[in-house]
Structure formats: C-alpha cells, structure tokens
Amino acid sequence: DEIQRFVEAATKIRCHSFRGKTYSTLFALLSCTGLRVSEATALHFEDITPDGLVIKSTKFRKSRLVPLHETAEAGINRYLEHRHPYAPYDDHVFVSLQKKPLVSWNVHSTFKTVAKKVGIKSRSGSPRPTPHSFRHTFAVRALESCTGSRDQITKHMLALSTYLGHCKIHHTYWYLEAR
C-alpha cells in the first residue's frame, strides 16, 4: 500500500510531467525487482531483453539477468514511449530533464521529496527510508513468501542471493537480521 502511494505520488512531481514519469517508473522498478539504484540508473536500451533486464554495472562487477513480471515490462514500455522522443540521442533508460543519465544524488533527493509528500517517516529505532528501502522490502517479502522444508528455504535463499547479485549468501541473510 505504502509503495503504491509512493509511486503514485512520484507521478505528480512538479516541474515537468516527464520527470514524474521517470521517477514513478524508476521507483516502481526498484520496488518490484530489488535492483540497486546504481544498477537501474546504468541501464541502457540494449539491457532490456525478452528474458528480462541484463544487469552489467553491478556492485561486485558480476552480470546477471533479472526477470521481469509482465506488468513491470509493460510499465517500462509505457515509460519508454514517452522517453524516446524526449532524449533520442542517449541510450540510457532513465534520463533527467537535462537529457542526461540520472545520477544517484538526484534519485536520493527526489526520493526524500516524495517520501515527505506521502508522509513516510523513520519509524522509531529504524534508519530513515532511502531508495535502498525498496531493495530491502523486496528481499524481506521474498523471504516471507518462502515456505516449506529447511532444504526448500535454503534453495530459496541461494536463489535470492543470486538474484540480488550478492557475492556471499550471508549478505542476503543480513536482510533477516535487519528486519
């Protein structure tokens, strides 16, 4: 519910409607894929394939394929229809109003603005929300959905670790501890 309100509020960012489309699509993508901000802002058109997103610019310099649900794919395609004419000479998926790739500090600043607009605040004893909160929420929800035997849970953790691009599985276990 909170994520849906957040993404909707991002569409209403003042200044320019293209900016709202960019950030609402970016935040929705972060929330449904668990990508890092740096991975999403580094995406190029060629990284969008029928099988999903090819993530090349990773924290640990490992490429991986992130499958997309058909609704996420449709959302990216709707965004790209508006984006192509806006900055036709740049092949980054997400571009700023200056027709250049989004930079991390702009994403963090816009996140903070939208969070304030929606009324999302730090919970007592918790760190303040950041764009990385989408990744954390994705991982925790994926872990919560896992049921079954110890072997099934172990396989799920290993798959999630690979999906998130972690080098070591204990980086994924951290999401259980941080909850």
Q: Pick the catalytic residue: 132, 136, 156, 171?
A: 132
Q: Pick the catalytic residue: 21, 83, 92, 166?
A: 166
Q: Pick the catalytic residue: 12, 16, 59, 84?
A: 59
CA–CA separation, 126 and 135 (whole Å): 16
Q: Pick the catalytic residue: 23, 79, 163, 175?
A: 175
Question: Is-catalytic flag, 36?
Answer: yes
Question: Is-catalytic flag, 59?
Answer: yes
Question: Is-catalytic flag, 132?
Answer: yes
Q: Pick the catalytic residue: 21, 36, 83, 92?
A: 36
Question: Is-catalytic flag, 5?
Answer: no
Question: Is-catalytic flag, 166?
Answer: yes
Q: Pick the catalytic residue: 21, 83, 92, 135?
A: 135
Report the catalytic residues: 36, 59, 132, 135, 166, 175
